[in-house]
Amino acid sequence: MEKIISLCKRRGFIFPGSEIYGGLANSWDFGHAGTELFNNISALWWKKFVQERPDMLGIRGPVLMNPKVWEASGHVKNFTDPLVECRVCHARFRADKEKELKEHAKEHKEKDIWTESKLFSLLVKTFLGPVEDQQLMVYLRGELAQTMFTDFKIMLETNRRKLPFGIAQIGKVFRNEVTTGNFIFRSREFHIAELEYFVKPGKEDAVFYSWAEAIEKFLTAELGLKKENLRQYEHPSKDLAHYSKGTIDFQYRFPWGWDELWGLASRTDYDLKNHEQLSGQNLKYKDPESGEEFWPYVVEPSVGLERLMLAVLLDGYTETEARSGKEDAVHEVETVLRLKKSLSPVKVAVLPLSKKENLSKKAQEIYQDLIKDFVCEYDETQSIGKRYRRQDEIGTPYCVTVDFESLEDNAVTVRDRDTMKQDRIKIAELKGYLKEKLA
């Protein structure tokens, strides 16, 4: 983890938020490379789970919703974690994290250091308007699903849908986590990519397992995560969330052990039923053939995008022997981020061999043309070896080197991040070559 955190800071992926003021616990800013990578993962999720699926619809709800939403959803009552406090140093921990409790107790060399366990709400509160008044209290959303439930009827009608169909959303959520940590793995604000898939009651089990397959395929084939770093864990019924009749966690082998990456829950008709009861609005589905009215059952795949990005970074992180040429090698070991090319934050780096004016001019012309089609970087500082190394560390699949010969033969050298193979390509054919390679 230390290596990843250091790489992320050094290369502008992710760094501590508001650091000029000493930071804020577990708040993270995403720099240029981090933003591009995050956006690529997010766009891929949308493409695979919304754009390429005729049975899916997209939605975008607000962070602030009527507080009754969270009463009906059961979050006000049940979205809690058990909390204990250390009597010695007053640090707070989740009572269900036995390993952390044991480690902390060891630090104080005592056994009886914990207060009684109390339930602690994960919902973050805020106040709307100029006065801090309980009547104006609202919650920052703790999950996205509730927009899909409150808007179930209007989405059904405006899009003239029949069961089964789903509604998907990507957005930010907030949670008052008792303990945060492991870099961006657990924070108090993060993005979820979530969908609610509505089916006729009785069909939910088959649909649940077909979503499990779709998730597995996305993680391996689309994101390129290694199979040996993934496994599925089915929750015992005592550990299920208040709305779930069955949950599978897709776990990733993080440096601290297997941990949840993506949740798949069978949410029954719990939410629609409760929203109908509290709002007084009919949220049932009317079968167009039989005329039968019922609350659909819901299957919900839900993943934190920052957590997914951490898995992608960890999985792609590799160390190789120095490969930039002896005179340019900075260390004996070099880092290469072997990301799927489609995910790489920068697709092409344009590197003139030297800063000589005529080379820079040629390289700039190439760069200005390529940025219309690819996310590119132009870099003419430092030795070519150091520049390759920098691009390897952010996972850039192709480096285009413009050398003195380029001025004569109108061709450039394209270096492949993974094979290290160098191809000499005519400048006129460069775009087509890169498009084919990056397709």
| Residues at the interface with ligand GAP (CB under 6 A) | 143, 145, 175, 177, 186-187, 190, 192, 194, 260-263, 300, 302-304, 306-307
User: Looking at beta carbons only, is 79 or 388 nearer to ligand GAP?
Assistant: 79
For the bound state, the minimum distance from the C-beta of residue 207 to ligand GAP, rounded and expressed in Å, comes to 17
For the bound state, the minimum distance from the C-beta of residue 74 to ligand GAP, rounded and expressed in Å, comes to 12
For the bound state, the minimum distance from the C-beta of residue 191 to ligand GAP, rounded and expressed in Å, comes to 8
User: Looking at beta carbons only, is 243 or 398 nearer to ligand GAP?
Assistant: 243
Q: Which of 69, 59, 197 is nearest to 141 (CA)?
A: 69
For the bound state, the minimum distance from the C-beta of residue 187 to ligand GAP, rounded and expressed in Å, comes to 5
User: Looking at beta carbons only, is 304 or 395 nearer to ligand GAP?
Assistant: 304
User: Looking at beta carbons only, is 177 or 392 nearer to ligand GAP?
Assistant: 177
For the bound state, the minimum distance from the C-beta of residue 119 to ligand GAP, rounded and expressed in Å, comes to 16
Q: Which residue is nearest to ligand GAP (CB)?
A: 304
User: Looking at beta carbons only, is 260 or 369 nearer to ligand GAP?
Assistant: 260
For the bound state, the minimum distance from the C-beta of residue 242 to ligand GAP, rounded and expressed in Å, comes to 11
User: Looking at beta carbons only, is 207 or 303 nearer to ligand GAP?
Assistant: 303
For the bound state, the minimum distance from the C-beta of residue 194 to ligand GAP, rounded and expressed in Å, comes to 5
User: Looking at beta carbons only, is 177 or 380 nearer to ligand GAP?
Assistant: 177
